[in-house]
Structure 1
Amino acid sequence: MSPLSALRLPMPPSLLAPLRSGVAAGVRDATGAIGRLVRPHRGVWSYPGRYYIEVRGVHGTGGERVARRVEQALEEHPRVRWARVNAPSERVVVAVDKPPPSEQALITRIERAEARAPAAPPEEFDEWAPEPRHPSGGPKAAQSLAVLTADVAGLGVATALRLAPWLRLPAEAAAAMSVIQNHPRLRRLVLAVTRGEPTEATLPVLSALTQGVATRGGGIALDLLQRLALWREAEAEGRAWAAMEPQLVHGPQDVVAEPIVVERPGPSPQDTVERFAERSMAAGAVAGALAVPFAGPRRGLAVAFASVPRAPGAGREGFATSLGRFLALRGVLAMDRSCLRRLGQVDTVVLDEEALRGDRYEPIDLELLGGAEPGRTSERLFGLFDPDQPLETRRDNGWVLGPLDRLELTGRTGQQTAARLRRRGSERVLGLARGRRLQAVVGLAPQTVPGAEA
């Protein structure tokens, strides 16, 4: 009997049971290892004299009670000066004395406070925030570290399977994971059912490993490049945050923030990528079903899985990571990086008018009265006008410029002219008089900041 045929003999039951138990134990150990890698116990970032520690259960209604319990538990520590929870970023900022307490001692107090807090309504899961929202999370705490490891392992498996192709999984296994990841509604359904735990963290890792066993590794290479870009984005934001934090935080009043409990008046709009993914996969499913009677079930599935669009999502993620990194390199921080992934959903831009206004005023309108000479009147206007103190009364060689109600005038008061200028857009109105006779009424408006017109 040849060695190859001996390998095909059935295994005795006495050896099969221990093998099964060993495989099950190995799977449990591997799952635990992936879980520890993917989901760190609790994010901690430190600056001399301050800790930023992840805190849970502070979103939505009831989050205030959890935050107060956490703050009270931390401030009872003898070497903690103050502690304040920033609920939107899920961080508690702890100011400590020297020598500082250990991180584990602070985390233990936070966990006890979270456990004692009354049960709060379930929080809305945000599928757009797979990475740490706060810049203090940095690249090492990011989920991308786990997926990078899984991608490297998947590439190694794909290489090994070229030498042992009989161990490969069906390609449909990797395609099914890709469908869940790329179809917006399916992904949202899976994450909603599990509340994001642990699916949010393990889904990309399982996808990477499945692709390694079931494919030749092309999709893993693309994912590896995306995760490297995500790592660079997080690293740049971490450096920018470390440089800005001392100027931003001077006391507890600078970090405290209550939970955001205001709900949207309606559902968020779909962006183009989501609409295209849903329509493409729906069309592929129909085409695959029609192909089954002629080409068979497996080829029908291949036709359906071929419609999974990875390029649009990869393009969106590539743009977001590049934008986040370039902003961080220029000293601009997105405190919630998921907002850069939502730009495709923006259909309305609201600009704060005050943000486009300067502190200086300028003349924008002028009406001459009583046959005043245009050239000389304009010359005296710009000679007397001060953009830094536009409402101050100024005098020079018998000419007076100031608010109409402060001028001592004989004859015309200019009130009707001033009303016309306000209707045409002037915010302030001045009068220009020669002696006691009003020569002109001037309309003023704030100067706009550079680029406001664009």
Structure 2
Amino acid sequence: MGAGRLAHIEVRGARHLITAEQGRLLEHAVEKLHGVDWAAWNAMLGRLLVSFDEDGLDLDSLIETVAEAESEHLPADVAGGRGTVDAKTRHQITLTADVVAAAGSFAARRLRLPKAPLELAAIVAMVDHLPGVRTRLRQALGHHNADLLVSAVAATINAASQAELSSIADAALRVVLLQEESEQRKTWRRRAADLAGNAAAGRAESQDDDRPGALPDGPVERYAQRISMVTMLVAAAVTAMPAGVRRAARVLAAGSPVPALAGREAFAGGLGRLLARRNVLVRDRAALRRLDRVDTVVIDAAVLTGGRQVITHVVPVHGTVEAAWEAATRLVGGPGGTLPAGADGWALTDLRSLDTQIPDAVLADARAHDGVRAKLYALTRDGGAAAVVLVEPALDPLTAALIAAGRQAGSVLLAGAPAGIRARVPADGTVAGARASPRRSGRCRPTGTSCCSSGSATTPRSPRRTAASACCVRTGGHRGAPT
């Protein structure tokens, strides 16, 4: 996919089988081309990112060079990967097949042509009732090729049996998914330069860590398993009845779990489109299809505070708390969280640079409320100490709403939260953040272009120690954020 001066070129084969050294060889092969600024192998995306001068090098020549480098530097079992259509092409072909099938069905009905038995739909339904069948097809043909084959067979059967409603429903789903694909590609183009401004930012190694546990089934998977089991049992029972085979075929077609799966796809497609329009880049859209399995939400504590600061505690040396608090509040909140210069003789001064002695009782009271990220200042007027104030980063106004939304899914944990934030945010527990756990979070980029976390925590709702592995969403950052 070309994005101005930056191209994302998908490399054939299994991306996690390509080593870092092989990725460097691909980079060096491409960087020899005249007009290429830099190349970076991103194993997490399975793509080679290339910055080039489009006036001196066309994209076709660049792709041809990558193909030659694959054949030269990658093993045959990796570089010789099966050619497959991409998701966009698959949806376009399927949409075309659905439209043709629906039109053919209407035409055949108007012409009173004989229709094929509705029981033929059981052929496709068996692929959904027996997940192992689709899995074997994907292993043999490739993921998108196998799904395209199943969709083509379904469209053909719908046309022959004049079941146009099924084709129309699937066509509507493809429209939603194509809109998601289109909007996400536009977001890629808008944000490519920001997210991969140089080779170091674009390069990423494969994440070899296994999940702490198997990915659990979601409600749609559990429903599909139950409905398929019941349908298979009923179909087996009705085969003993007159015209049992035809009755069994109709039962298999009627009990297909496809509507539930299609409903989730439509929701995730609409969500992906909405996120893209809000400049949110979803790196792996499969994550949107797993939202129904979320039972724990991990929030990066850094996104809960902005540049503003706030007074959280005041201990007066002279005068009242109210007067000192009012004066200190006027001094807090400069650009980027800085403390502005004093006014009317008032100033916030670092305790270490203060000449005036502050009573020990005042300091003890202030330090009793001190948080990890908070800082103590002396509130002075004309050089004399008036109070000791505690200044902390201000919480985002939507913090409470964010916590409440997270609780609708399950427990809410804070990642990398200092003591002061933990005391002010009603979360259910904490996990180590990127700064506290560099080994586990070393693949998380400080730029916010990706986020992955693994760790363990104990929550009030789940007293057992829980191992977690999650894809995180950054809610802060300029011009939107990726997931």
With the shorter chain as reference, the TM-score category is 0.7 to 0.9
Q: Which of 307, 311, 314 is the aligned partner of 1:359?
A: 307
Task: Note if contact 1:66-1:117 (Cα within 8 Å) is conserved in structure 2.
Answer: yes
**Aligned: 1:334 with 2:290:** no
> What do residues 244-291 of structure 1 show as CA deviations (whole Å, max 9, x unaligned)?
445555443443332333322211122211111111111122222233
Cα distance in 1 between the residues matched to 2:46 and 2:85: 14
Query: Normalising by the residue count of structure 2, what TM-score does the alignment of the two structures yield?
Result: 0.69
Following the alignment from structure 1 to structure 2, what is the Cα–Cα distance between the partners of residues 50 and 377?
A: 55
Question: Aligned to 1:207, which of 154, 179, 183?
Answer: 154
In structure 2, what residue type is equivalent to 1:115? S
CA shift, 1:446, in A, is 0.6
Q: Give, as a single letter, the amino acid of the residue that structure 2 aligns with 1:412.
A: P
Matched, 1:343 2:299: no
Among 193, 198, 220, the alignment partner of 1:273 is 220
Q: Distance in 1 between matches of 2:382 and 2:189?
A: 62
Structure 2 CA distance for partners of 1:118 and 1:417, relative to 1, 3 Å:
same
How do 1:89-104 residues align onto structure 2 when only pairs under 5 Å count?
89-97=45-53, 99-104=55-60
CA shift at 1:93, angstroms? 2.9
Q: Distance in 1 between matches of 2:30 and 2:194?
A: 24
How many Å separate the matches in 2 of 1:383 and 1:333? 39
**TM-score, scaled to structure 1:** 0.73
Equivalent residues of 2:86, 2:144 under 8 A apart? no
Q: What's the counterpart of residue 309 of structure 1?
A: 257
Paired AA for residue 420 in structure 1: A
Of structures 1 and 2, the larger Rg is shown by 1
* 1:408 alignment partner, SS class: coil
Cα distance change, pair 191–267 in 1 and its aligned pair in 2 (3 A): farther
Aligned 8 A contact 2:128 2:256 in 1: no
- SS of the residue aligned with 1:359? strand
Counterpart of 2:25 (choices 69, 86, 98) is 69
For 1:400 and 1:52, how far apart are their aligned partners in 2? 53
Q: 2:241 aligns with which of 287, 294, 302?
A: 294
Alignment partner of 1:217 out of 156, 159, 164: 164
Q: Aligned in 2, Cα 1:392/1:406: closer, same or farther, shift over 3 Å?
A: farther
Corresponding residue number in structure 1 for 2:40: 84
SS in 2 for 1:60: helix
Q: Is the 8 A contact 2:115 2:162 kept in 1?
A: no
* Structure 2 equivalent of residue 152 of structure 1: 99
Indicate whether 1:443 and 2:390 are aligned. Answer: yes
Give 2:208's aligned amino acid.
V
Distance between the aligned counterparts of 1:185 and 1:320, measured in 2? 24
Please say if residues 284 and 303 of structure 1, whose CA atoms lie closer than 8 Å, have aligned partners that are also in contact.
Answer: yes
CA distance in 2, matches of 1:391, 1:440: 16
- Once the two structures are TM-superposed, the CA of residue 316 in structure 1 deviates from its matched residue by 1.4
Partner of 2:9: 53
Task: For 1:237 and 1:196, locate their aligned partners in 2 and report how far apart those are by CA, in whole Å.
Answer: 20
* Per-residue deviation, residues 191-243 of structure 1 (Å, max 9, x unmatched): 35655374244232233223323452221111111112222222233334334
In 2, Cα distance between the equivalents of 1:216 and 1:172? 11
Matched residues in 1 for 2:139 and 2:213: separation? 18
1:392–1:402 Cα contact (<8 Å) kept = no
Deviation, 1:58, is 5.9
One-letter amino acid of the structure 2 residue matched with residue 361 of structure 1:
Q
Give the whole-Å Cα distance in 2 for the aligned partners of 1:434 and 1:179: 81
> Which residue of structure 2 lines up, in the alignment, with residue 378 of structure 1?
325
CA distance in 2: counterparts of 1:58 and 1:276, whole angstroms:
31
Asked whether the equivalents of residues 409 and 438 of structure 1 are also in contact (C-alpha less than 8 Å), the reply is: yes
Work out the CA distance in 2 between the residues paired with 1:277 and 1:348.
Answer: 24
CA contact (8 A) 2:108 2:162 kept: no
Amino acid of the structure 1 residue aligned with 2:237? L
In structure 2, the partner of 1:319 is 267
Amino acid at match of 2:291: L
Counterparts of 1:57 and 1:207 in 2: how far apart (Å)? 29
Seen in structure 2, the aligned counterparts of structure 1 residues 144 and 89 have a Cα distance that, compared at 3 Å, is same
Residue type at the aligned position of 2:50: V
Gaps of 5+ in 2: 402-483
Q: 1:430–1:230: structure 2 CA closer, same or farther, 3 Å change rule?
A: same
What do residues 347-393 of structure 1 show as CA deviations (whole Å, max 9, x unaligned)? Answer: 221111111111121101223457x4334333443355455566789
| Residue pair 2:115, 2:161 contacting (<8 A) in 1 also | no
1:313 Cα shift? 2.0
Cα displacement (A) at 1:150: 1.9
For the structure 1 residues 383 and 450, does the alpha-carbon distance in structure 2 shift closer, same or farther, using more than 3 Å as the test?
closer
Deviations 1:300-325 (A, max 9, x none): 33224322133322221222222222
The code of the aligned residue for 2:171 comes to: L
Structure 2 residue identity aligned to 1:445: E
Stretches of structure 1 lacking an aligned partner (at least 5 in a row):
1-44, 133-140
1:171 is aligned to 2:171: no
Query: 1:406 matched to which residue of 2?
Result: 353
Cα separation, partners in 2 of 1:130 and 1:281, compared to 1, 3 Å: farther
Q: Deviations over 1:155-208 (max 9, x none)?
A: 34434654585572x434322313424765654454356553742442322332
Change (3 A) 1:111 1:377: closer
| Residue number in structure 1 paired with 2:366 | 418
Residue 70 (structure 1) shift? 2.3
CA distance in 2, matches of 1:437, 1:102: 70
